[in-house]
Amino acid sequence: MSPDEPTQGGARGTVDQAATDQSPENLPAPPEGQPGSQTVRQVGERRGMFGVKGSGDTSGYGGLRAAVRHPAATARPYGGWFDEVADALEVAARDAGVERAVESVVVHRGEITFHVRADDLLVLARLLRDEPRLRFELLSSVSGVHYPADTGHELHVVHHLLSMTHNRRIRLEVAVPDTDPRLPSLVPVYPTADWHERETWDMFGVLFEGHPSLTRILMPDDWPGHPQRKDYPLGGIPVEYKGGTVPPPDQRRSYS
């Protein structure tokens, strides 16, 4: 279902390395789940050891590359009530004509994430709220995450749902491309999404279609850019104090 191929990860040139370098602790950790059987998508790359940019590599670790791969999609059975929710959702989605809505399911650290197609989000949310076997009455939170290296899926919007009836929590994750960052607003189903979506728009530039008034909420109305995107610098101005100057945070030394 996912168009992405499994990647080999960042273990470059492991074959040529000396035997000492190939000791288990020097190799990148294998992704969770059964190796080989799951699709693991690389969503980014970490470089070096100390995150220094724009100056000479004095650490000697500047050549390090580590692939960023999220926990792999989980195969059934998911365990516990996860299967119950997934079954009920599958049946309800089929009845509603959106059987392809859920692209993959990830169970990681005891939490379940449904990766959902943006187009079907609103239908799915309504099912999740109204279906007696699901009953996710409360939308706890909406937050954005920006993966600049995840080409075609740069902006992720994560919805945390809570069912008080069944005492369960699930997560819906929608990925939209940076070039067309649109997804349906959940305000018609969960009015509480109003401010959460405005914040996500403000911070990430994600367009929630159908939102009653998608305006900035935390930043001033005329603010340029969306501050929590990864391509937006932390910024700041140098501060002088008693003759010394403290550089802005993004120009200080950093450690990755």
Partner 1 sequence: MTTQEDLYAGTSETTEGRVFTVTGQDWDQIAEGLAEDAEERVVVNMGPQHPSTHGVLRLILELEGETVTEARCGIGYLHTGIEKNMEYRSWVQGVTFCTRMDYLSPFFNEATYVLGVERLLDIEADVPEKAQVMRVLLMELNRISSHLVAIATGGMEIGALTVMTIGFRERELVLDLFELITGLRMNHAFIRPGGVAQDLPAGALDEIASFVALMKKRLPEYAALCNANPIFKARLEGVGHLDLEGCLALGLTGPPLRASGYPWDLRKTQPYSGYEDYDFDVQTWDTADAYGRFRVRLAEMWESLKIVEQAAARLAGLEGAPVMVADRKIAWPSQLAIGSDGMGNSLDHIRHIMGESMEALIHHFKLVTEGFRVPEGQAYVPVESPRGELGAHVVSDGGTRPFRAHFRDPSFTNLQATSVMSEGGMVADVIVAIASIDPVMGGVDR
Interface residue with partner 1 among 64, 66, 96, 123 (CB under 8 A) is: 66
DSSP run (H or E) holding 172:
strand 168-176
Note whether 227 binds partner 1 by CB under 8 A: yes
Q: Locate 201 and state its tokens.
A: 């728009």
Note whether 70 binds partner 1 by CB under 8 A: yes
Smallest gap from residue 76 Cβ to partner 1 (A): 20
Q: Could you check whether the bond before residue 77 is cis, i.e. omega within 30 degrees of 0? A: yes
Alpha-carbon distances, residue 183 vs 108, 117, 177, 203 (angstroms):
25, 9, 10, 15
Alpha-carbon distances, residue 144 vs 1, 70, 245 (angstroms):
23, 16, 34
Note whether 44 binds partner 1 by CB under 8 A: yes
Stretch of residues binding partner 1 (CB under 8 A), selected from 16-24, 88-96, 177-185, 210-218: 210-218
Alpha-carbon distances, residue 119 vs 103, 122, 182, 206 (angstroms):
12, 8, 9, 14
Interface residue with partner 1 among 181, 194, 205, 208 (CB under 8 A) is: 194
Q: Locate 42 and state its tokens.
A: 């690389």
Note whether 114 binds partner 1 by CB under 8 A: no
Smallest gap from residue 77 Cβ to partner 1 (A): 20
Note whether 113 binds partner 1 by CB under 8 A: yes
Smallest gap from residue 215 Cβ to partner 1 (A): 11
- Which residue type, as a one-letter code, is found at position 211? H
What is the C-alpha to C-alpha distance for residues 32 and 9, in angstroms, rounded to an integer?
13
Interacting residues toward partner 1 by CB under 8 A: 29, 43-44, 46, 49-50, 66, 68-71, 108-111, 113, 137-141, 143-146, 158, 160, 162, 164, 167, 169, 171, 190-192, 194-196, 199, 216-220, 227-228, 234, 249-250, 254-256
